[in-house]
Amino acid sequence: MSKRKPLTQQKLASEEEHEIEGEPKRKKVNKKSRNGEFIVPPMNQKFVSCLQLGMNLNLLEQGAEESLQFQGTVAGQLTQQIYELIRSDTLSIANLERCHKWKGESSEIEYYYLRSRYFVSEENGMVCDRKRDDRIVCEPASMFHLVMCSHLQNNHVTSYNIHRNLVKTYANITRDYIVTAISYCSKCNPDLKAKPFQKKRHKNVYWELLPLERVHIEVFEPFDGEKIQGRFSHLLYFRDYFSRYVWILPLQNDKRKHMIRAMSSFLLGLPRIPIFLESTTIDREHLFDLCGQIAEHYSLKLGLGVKNSQRFHNNGIKDMKELLGSHKEECLQDWNLCLKYGPFHINQNINVSSDGRPGDLLFTSVPDCNRKFVKKRNDVILDTPSQQVVHLGEGVLFLENNKEEHKTVEAVKENITHSDPDEERAENDNTNDTQVRIDEGDVSPSKTEPVEQRDEDGEDRRGESDEADIRRPEDEPIDDAIEQKKEGNARNHLKNSAEVMVANIPNDNHVNTVQMQPAIVRDDYIYDSDELADYNLEVEQKRYKRMRKSNDADDKSMSEMGPRKKRKLLGRKLQSSTNMDESIEL
């Protein structure tokens, strides 16, 4: 059956109304594209050649038309007319004025700007952009077709994968444009609610952060086993979240002693010690141990972040590898050339996502940054629970606190340990009313329901130790809480004529008990209340002792432990509190 299915699809496709005579056969969906084999279609290919069965052709044509109109409204993007003028080498001031986009002096300024930025390649005759590393400028009329063909030929991949692959070749393909273009695919958007093309500047700036507040540290091999200058096989990579400023340091290997030396040099050379450090390539427990030794030895305050963004981290590593790989032979011979083609190039050029140069954003973007930074770090440490803070000599190591999760846990604890007295009083009243109703009813010899006994003054003799683990004479546990209270009150009142004294209970077990008075018991009652009372008291004492010990162990101050034991204990908590595979994209 699987072999006949493609033939049936081809037969149905030939009967479609929108099928064009003489049209080349549709390419099969590349099932291997998700494994890294991305197909980049030629710029002049139309999406009609990639149509699949059941797709809405009218919706695609609408998207192509709206896309072409949208190109003329975006500042910095070429229109179809200006693109043709540049490609045909007929660009002039008079022709720009005829395009009705610039007039007078502005047309002259724009003319020289376009001349300096765009040129026609002698190799392929394509228009290229000097500002975008001489990459090809996609023809405005073909942009929608290019994106849609890439989407269809690669098994309907996401906009992220399309952008990562097309941006290597084309200079004017943006992420927001791809997201909007894909919404016109009726397979991926069955509701046919495509959002229109509109102006939107994509910025990925973490405005809530301060420069050097959050830095991620990575270790990787830039050249897969080959050593720089015959010595350094690994790189220690640092990047600031806010400014995208990048540092790299050489490592002989990824052993602990080399990493501690390099990380210490980096941190002590910064104008401010970062509040949080994160990593994707370094194991969390290993990173905790490294930072703990550095904080203890140099008396620093370091925090470990738990809100990792693996995509953000991996993109930084990938970009650095591509920059160094394009000058591999030179970088292997000289470490300074690695600095030139890597962090120097990144820090000196404008980053579109962060809306500025990393160097400017790091040092001049926030006024009075040092005072704000110190205040924010102190506030973060004060807001962190004491269980997540370790004092290592004069240094401090702490974990990032998830405030919402912490509040939820504290609320649950309060509900468990501190119940409302009014609620307890209401429950006791309900229990008493139920007991009275039981006493007023008839008790047959075949039933063992207890009868309430009163003294001469008419007062009830009710036991208040409702927390005891009471069992039936058949030794069956009572699961329901209300039924347990009923049975507990009844059993405590139907004692043997011999007096049962409750004593010798420690004061720290929080069990309220009252001495019981002798009670009259009917003949049909099974006399096991003495054994049950002794057994229950014994169990209750052991249970509360265990709870007390566990609470004392949790509340024990970490200052009494050794530095190594502190790091191990908090390191395990870090490993269990966050999953390496889960991440929050910032």
pLDDT tens-digit readout, 432-470: 554 444 444 444 444 444 444 444 444 444 444 444 343
- The confidence score (pLDDT) of residue 240 equals 94
- Top pLDDT among 216 and 458 is at 216
DSSP conformational letter for 23: P
Report CA Rg, the chain.
37
pLDDT mean across residues, the chain? 73
Collapsing DSSP states into helix, strand and coil, what is residue 301?
strand
- The confidence score (pLDDT) of residue 55 equals 86
Segment 156-192, tens digit of pLDDT: 998 889 999 999 999 998 888 898 888 888 888 887 7
- The confidence score (pLDDT) of residue 120 equals 93
- Top pLDDT among 41 and 447 is at 41
Confidence of residue 561 (pLDDT cuts 50, 70, 90): low
For 95, residues 6+ apart whose C-beta sits below 8 A from its C-beta are 85
CA 111 to chain centroid, in Å, comes to 47
Q: How many helices (H) does the chain have, and how many strands (E)?
A: 21, 10
Confidence of residue 320 (pLDDT cuts 50, 70, 90): very high
Confidence of residue 16 (pLDDT cuts 50, 70, 90): very low
The structural domains of the chain, ordered by start, are 24-182 (no CATH), 214-404 (3.30.420.10), 424-549 (no CATH)
**Strands ordered across the beta sheet of 395-399:** 246-251, 234-240, 214-220, 276-278, 301-304, 395-399, 389-392
Beta bridge partners of 302: 397
- 284-298 and 563-577 helices, crossing angle to 10°: 140
Which runs of consecutive H residues, i.e. helices, occur in 210-357?
256-268, 284-298, 310-325, 328-333, 335-339, 345-348
- The confidence score (pLDDT) of residue 564 equals 62
* Phi, psi (degrees; rounded to nearest 5) at 385: -60, 150
Strands 301-304, 276-278: pairing kind: parallel
Beta bridge partners of 135: 129
Is the pLDDT score of 329 beyond 70? yes
- Top pLDDT among 130 and 483 is at 130
Report the range out of 434-448, 507-521, 550-564 with the highest average pLDDT: 550-564
Segment 278-309, tens digit of pLDDT: 999 998 889 999 999 999 999 999 999 887 67
- The confidence score (pLDDT) of residue 355 equals 73
- The confidence score (pLDDT) of residue 569 equals 61
**How far is CA 82 from each of CA 77, 173, 255, 313, 536, rounded to the nearest angstrom?**
10, 17, 57, 39, 91
Percent of the chain residues topping a pLDDT of 70: 58
- Top pLDDT among 538 and 398 is at 398
Element (H, E) at 120: strand 118-120
Out of 130-144, 191-205, 312-326, 392-406, least confident range: 191-205
The sign one gets for the Cα dihedral 493, 494, 495, 496 is positive
- The confidence score (pLDDT) of residue 292 equals 93
DSSP string, 29-49: P-TTGGGT------TT--GGG
> What average pLDDT does the segment 343-355 reach?
86
User: Does the predicted TM-score (pTM) go above 0.75?
Assistant: no
Contact (Cβ atoms closer than 8 angstroms) between residue 273 and residue 343: no
Is the pLDDT score of 536 beyond 60? no
Segment 390-413, tens digit of pLDDT: 999 899 999 998 654 444 334 434
DSSP conformational letter for 130: G
Out of 11-20, 325-334, 479-488, least confident range: 11-20
Is the pLDDT score of 324 beyond 70? yes
- The confidence score (pLDDT) of residue 415 equals 46
For 224, what's the count of Cα atoms within 13 Å in the CB-facing half-sphere?
4
> What average pLDDT does the segment 347-374 reach?
86
Q: How many residues does the chain have?
A: 586
- Top pLDDT among 35 and 320 is at 320
Confidence of residue 50 (pLDDT cuts 50, 70, 90): confident
Whose CA is closest to 131, among 417, 353, 444, 349? 349
First-residue to last-residue Cα distance in the chain:
47
Out of 434-443, 496-505, 570-579, least confident range: 496-505
- Top pLDDT among 97 and 552 is at 97
> What average pLDDT does the segment 344-360 reach?
86
Cα 152 to Cα 146: distance, rounded to the nearest angstrom: 10
